[in-house]
Amino acid sequence: MPRSISLEKENDDSLEKTHIVLVEFSNLMLDELPQVLPSIREIQHQINLMSGFILPNKATYKLNLKEAQEL
């Protein structure tokens, strides 16, 4: 039973902290969402790739053989 009480306390603390942040930055949040998409900007970001080059795709993390077999 003490475990559930501590979880409830942690949830209350996180809710209180969330409320504080929302109040502090309320001027940055819109009251209502716009009904249309924003206009297209003049700057279009893109990465120009050169033909013949291989992208350096690497695994985000390495697995040992046992972990890889489990997947």
Q: Tell me: the pLDDT tens digits for 49-60? A: 888 888 777 766
**% of the chain residues with pLDDT over 90:** 4
Residue 4, H or E segment: helix 2-24
Nearest to 62 by CA among 71, 54, 53: 71
Q: Which range is least confidently modeled, 1-5, 29-33, 35-39, 41-45? A: 1-5
CA distance 55 to 49: 9
Has this prediction a pTM greater than 0.75?
no
Residue 9 pLDDT exceeds 80: no
What is the structure's pLDDT at 10?
62
